[in-house]
Amino acid sequence: MRFDLVVLGGGPGGVDCALEAAALGLSTALVERAELGGTCLNRGCIPTKLFLGATDCVHAMHAQARLRLLSGDIRVDLEALQKRKGQMLAGSRKAIEKQLADAGVALLRGQGTVRSAAELEVDTDQGPVAVEFGRLVVATGSRPTAFPGMEPDGDRVLDSDAALELTRAPASLLIVGGGTIGLELGRFFARLGAAITVVEAQDRLAPWEDAEVSATIAALCKREKWTLHLGGRVKSLRTEGGAALLELESGQTLGAELALVATGRGPNTAGIGLEAAGVRLGRGGFAEVDAFLLAAPTVAVIGDANGKAMLAHAAAHQGRYAARHAAGREQAPYACGPMPWCIYGAPETLRVGRMVSELLAQGLEPRVGTAQLAANPIAQSHASAQGFVKVVWLDGRVAGITAVGHGVAHLVTAATVIVRDGWTREDAQALVWAHPTLDEALHHALSAGPVPARS
């Protein structure tokens, strides 16, 4: 078998790459050893958002109850929710398979192993199949990782994959890692009644975010009775006596019914023969790529496997570029523009463009304009008016936008366009902003008199 382009991996990046390549007239095959949709669909973005969406009514009720506007009880049937998740994901996988077939993409089921710069072998149910390619696009994604001494054991110490399969909520959950995965799953299980404890080695939650955003997240977590251990390094984590037991380097011990290890993800690049095609794996196993996402003359590596931005939408964008480059339709180096980033749940966050700390570290003089959600009628109506939208200015143009609070992730596309186009205050004033909307918080942050930024 021979194809102009072969994609190894059927996640968001791989699927979008294959569809784009087929649309451009390249004979295309996609190799997938497990489920179509990758981590995003099956064990990441989509299941977590389904769980958060299904339980958002719990958060909404508690928010209104704090104002003594209503009372009541909501019981979540986790087994039923898991069943709905299974049906939804199966339907999505079937839709992807049909989309690939309709586009003329050959789907090869099995483990793919690279044999040379022009051939890979697919271990199918019918035996090994040799597949030649003109261009190979590696889109193998990533997997949960853990530091030594904190490895999930499948008993009381779980990774995010296992946590998403639970059919009974724990009474208490100990989360190691205060990043996106830990925060989103923590919010879900808190809504089911679990007592949440988070241990984060850095001195704040979501340490890559704006410091004020991190502080707001922490304040709202504490308001919901989460226990936070920040700046504490873990010595060991294990199952003992039917519970999860964690020991900090300080000597303090913490226990819970279950523990979730959410300390990051690593690329799926080992053991698939990439070296045979001249691909070099760097620190952490991420493939080293050039400005055109090429790791070797005939091999491109996209998405989590190259580590540039471990986000599903980043992988999809890179995949489409890789297809156009292989077809000769793209001559310029890969450029993604500002990369949007969100955390979901309550509160939500968004971040796009350059932040204050980055600009100050470069010796620049950013200014900031901020709008508090306390003044926004939509946030007020949901009894969730904590948080803000912050616009980062540089030389009179928008360099970055970040936000935290009710529903702010829904502002991310508008924020991305504004940062990409480098809006001025006049641009914001020339647009008619609908009222009442959450979008007005973005408008007010753009219109606020910017003040010098502080570190």
Amino acid letter, 64: Q
Q: Is residue 286 part of a domain?
A: yes
- The answer on 440 and 307 residing in a single domain is no
DSSP secondary structure string for all residues of 348-376: EEEEEE--HHHHHHTT---EEEEEEGGG-
Residue 372: C-alpha distances to residues 222, 267, 344, 443 (Å): 20, 39, 19, 11
Of 25, 38, 120, residue with least CA distance to 303:
38
Q: Is residue 217 part of a domain?
A: yes
pLDDT of residue 384: 95
Amino acid letter, 183: L
- The answer on 118 and 23 residing in a single domain is yes
Q: Which helix (H) or strand (E) holds 106?
A: strand 106-109
Q: Is residue 150 part of a domain?
A: no
Q: Beta-strand (E) ranges in 187-306?
A: 195-200, 227-230, 234-240, 243-248, 253-256, 258-261, 265-267, 294-296, 299-301
- The answer on 275 and 253 residing in a single domain is no
Asked whether the beta carbons of 453 and 366 are under 8 A apart, the reply is yes
Rounded Cα distance, 69 and 163, in Å: 34
Domain count, the chain: 3
Q: Is residue 390 part of a domain?
A: yes
Q: Is residue 20 part of a domain?
A: yes
Rounded Cα distance, 293 and 314, in Å: 13
Active site members? 435
Q: How many residues does the chain have?
A: 455
- The answer on 446 and 314 residing in a single domain is no
Phi/psi-derived region of residue 102, left when phi > 0, alpha when psi is between -120 and 50, beta in every other case: alpha
- The answer on 235 and 116 residing in a single domain is no
Give the count of beta carbons closer than 10 Å to the beta carbon of residue 333. Answer: 11
Q: Is residue 336 part of a domain?
A: no
- The answer on 271 and 256 residing in a single domain is no
Which token pair is 40?
């995003």
Domain boundary among 215, 240, 263: 263
- For the domain that residue 48 is a member of, what is the CATH number? 3.50.50.60
β-strand partners of 200: 230
Give the count of beta carbons closer than 10 Å to the beta carbon of residue 419. Answer: 23
Of 56, 62, 53, residue with least CA distance to 223:
62
Burial label, 255 (beta-carbon count in 10 A; 0-12, 13-18, 19+): middle
pLDDT in 10s for each residue of the chain, 455 residues: 999 999 999 999 999 999 999 999 999 999 999 999 999 999 999 999 999 999 999 999 999 999 999 999 899 999 999 999 999 999 999 999 999 999 999 999 999 999 999 999 999 999 999 999 999 999 999 999 988 889 999 999 999 999 999 999 999 999 999 999 999 999 999 999 999 999 999 999 999 999 999 999 999 999 999 999 999 899 999 999 999 999 999 999 999 999 999 998 999 999 999 999 999 999 999 999 999 999 999 999 999 999 999 999 999 999 999 999 999 999 999 999 999 999 999 899 999 999 999 999 999 999 999 999 999 999 999 999 999 999 999 999 999 999 999 999 999 999 999 999 999 999 999 999 999 999 999 999 999 989 999 86
Strands 127-138 and 119-124, by their bridges, are: antiparallel
Rounded Cα distance, 141 and 13, in Å: 9
In SS3 terms, 433-451 reads as CCCCCCHHHHHHHHHCCCE
The whole domain housing 130 covers 2-143+266-326
Q: Which DSSP symbol is given to 333?
A: P
- The answer on 289 and 259 residing in a single domain is no
Of 429, 367, 441, residue with least CA distance to 404:
441
pLDDT of residue 186: 97
- For the domain that residue 355 is a member of, what is the CATH number? 3.30.390.30
Which token pair is 393?
């200015």
Longest dimension (CA), the chain: 68
- The answer on 253 and 280 residing in a single domain is no
Give the count of beta carbons closer than 10 Å to the beta carbon of residue 392. Answer: 24
Angle, CA of 85, 88 and 93, to the nearest 5°: 120
Q: Is residue 331 part of a domain?
A: no
Q: Is residue 11 part of a domain?
A: yes
- The answer on 8 and 119 residing in a single domain is yes
- The answer on 99 and 185 residing in a single domain is no
The three-state secondary structure class of 290 is: coil
pLDDT of residue 449: 87
Which token pair is 164?
């998403």
- The answer on 161 and 258 residing in a single domain is yes
- The answer on 253 and 387 residing in a single domain is no
